[in-house]
Amino acid sequence: MTVNSDEHIIIHPRRNKNEQPLPANGLLLVNPSEASQLMGRLQDGGAESRFLFNSGLVVTGKSPYFAAGPAIGAPMAALTLEKLIALGAKRVILFGWCGAISQGLKVGDILVPARALSGEGTSRYYFPDTQVEPDVKLSAEVRKVLADNGLPVHQDCVWSTDAVYREDRRLLKKLCWEKGVGAVDMEFSALCAVAKFRQIEFAAVLTVSDELWGDSWRPGFAKKIFQKQKQAAMDLLLCHIDRFGEN
């Protein structure tokens, strides 16, 4: 399936005549609290708030970029990304959390995933394959920025699911052992599929928020290391977001 063989699709994303185009580069945030905090921070610095029918959207003025969110779950995230692309987004970085299913990952670790495996129901409408990838070049640029500034980066495969409360430890172990999956989230694989289909650059920065590889679930949302690492990653992205894709 390609964009050019899409003639039977009924509804297409588009920029309406009263909507301004977006800068090429931007962040898409998964979590409501982080999206709200970042947009408030950017608006305090002079960023413009714009309407986005199912999410929030702000655009900075100097060295322009955009930030959008929240976008929880594959359908919501895909819907949001489709609209951002229609508005002019060319390079999008997902900022979110993930659960570790590999013992090599701990709370606070930073992932810039190299592969995605779909366990959600959205990506199959874009590509029939269950394994998709983010943009290699953009992902490498993001890894370099983080690593060069003292944040070690993992590249584990991420499995995305629609059903957080139906994560079976037997399935997770099988995904880890047989497919090389290191972490689980809800959006990454679907966004890889949308970005590939629409031919834009897409990457993700995910912070490990909880561990699922032991005998019981170990949440780390309130741990200082989780808060410190994800804030450090966010600050670095904000410092460099307008320059990604220059080379």
Q: pLDDT tens, position by position, for the chain (247 residues)?
A: 455 568 899 999 999 999 999 999 999 999 999 999 999 999 999 999 999 988 999 999 878 999 999 999 999 999 999 999 999 999 999 999 999 999 999 999 999 999 999 999 999 999 987 789 999 999 999 999 999 999 999 999 999 999 999 999 999 999 999 999 999 999 999 999 999 999 999 999 999 999 999 889 999 999 999 999 999 999 999 999 999 998 7
The 3-state secondary structure of 46-61 reads CCEEEEECCEEEEECC
**What amino acid is encoded at 110 in this protein?**
I
On the question of a cis peptide bond just before residue 70, with omega within 30 degrees of 0, the verdict is: yes
> Which residues, at least 6 apart from 149, have a Cβ–Cβ distance to it below 8 Å?
236
pTM: 0.95
Question: Measured between alpha carbons, how far is 140 from 112 in angstroms, rounded to an integer?
Answer: 9
Between CA 52 and CA 57 the distance in angstroms is: 6
- pLDDT at site 5: 62
Q: 66, 56 in Cβ contact below 8 A?
A: no
Tell me how long the chain is: 247
pLDDT at 142: 98
> CA Rg, the chain, in Å?
17
* Collapsed DSSP state (helix, strand, coil) of residue 229: helix
Q: Read off the DSSP letter of residue 127.
A: -
Could you confirm whether domain 20-243 is CATH 3.40.50.1580?
yes
